Amino acid sequence: MILDRNENKDVVVLLGAGAMGTAILRRVAAGKRILLGDISEKALERVSHDFQYSGYDVQTYIVDACDPASLKAFAEKAASLGPVKVFVMTAGASPSQAKPEHIIALDLIGTAYAIDAFGAVMAPGGAGLVVASQTGYMPSALTKEDEQALAMTPAAELAKLPCLDGSKTASSGAAYIVAKRANQLRVQAAAATTWGERRARINTLSPGIIVTPLAYDEFNAPGNTYQGMIDASPARRTGTIDEIAAAGVFLLGPDAGFITGTDLLIDGGVIASMRAGKFALGRR
């Protein structure tokens, strides 16, 4: 049985086959060709099966988001399938899942390479979305000079920056904050340069506590930081992947055609509570 006889389809790409990214794709990928990328073959099999049995046209690609060559090949594969109109980046590791060095390598440097790789293949009118985190708004040891360097330094030279020598990223929590702030900064720079030159848009979305398997890892981590943030927030609850998907669809769609290089914070008011002095972050 042939489910779709259309040949010339736009391409929608997801890097990181997690719950938030797949929820976004379900809302934007109907009638398009999906390329799923992840380092886990099992995750790709599971997610692609769900998409295929829901009527989507989907292909998979094993990609190491810490490897620039792998990311470049992934982007080239996407371009070979048709005009790349949507790119969503969710690959990353949380503080309870990885050591500081891996968080910097994947969440910060890997994301910078991914932004560059897809900035070279996006079709005019395309849109990208990097899922960052509310932690990008949390206090860190970064100076204005550090932030400028994180925004503008070529990806191949990021690891050499003094602010990434371990002095400001000694713990997994500190590394995660720096990485997610860097995501926001890299997207701002890309929107004004490489992506803008291709007439493509790119933004970040910074979720707060959203119920996913990753969130449960954090709930079970020492210190119960998540519970403190929930209790101090105006919303007094966690968020859902459907709420993130709705925001992602907006940023990727035509109604956001005048929005690029910005971040949308979706955290139930956690950062507002921190700034009002109702919650203080415990460092891990």
3-state secondary structure of 31: coil
Query: Which conformational region is residue 16 in: left (phi greater than 0), alpha (psi within -120 to 50 degrees), or beta?
Result: left
From 180, 216, 226, 278, active-site residue: 180
Query: What would the two tokens of residue 102 be?
Result: 């891996």
Q: In whole angstroms, give the CA distance from residue 103 to residue 13.
A: 22
DSSP state of 49: H
Q: In whole angstroms, give the CA distance from residue 106 to residue 21.
A: 17
Q: In whole angstroms, give the CA distance from residue 94 to residue 224.
A: 15
Distance of CA 151 to the CA centre of its chain: 16
CB atoms closer than 10 angstroms to residue 272: 16
- Exposed, middle or buried, 45 (CB in 10 Å: 0-12/13-18/19+)? middle
Annotated catalytic residue 216: no
From 56, 137, 176, 226, active-site residue: 176
Contact of 94 with 69, CB cutoff 8 Å: no
Annotated catalytic residue 113: no
Contact of 201 with 257, CB cutoff 8 Å: yes
Pick the closest to residue 108 from 132, 128, 87, 86 (CA basis): 132
Query: What would the two tokens of residue 242 be?
Result: 């459907």
Contact of 168 with 181, CB cutoff 8 Å: no
User: Which amino acids are annotated catalytic?
Assistant: 176, 180
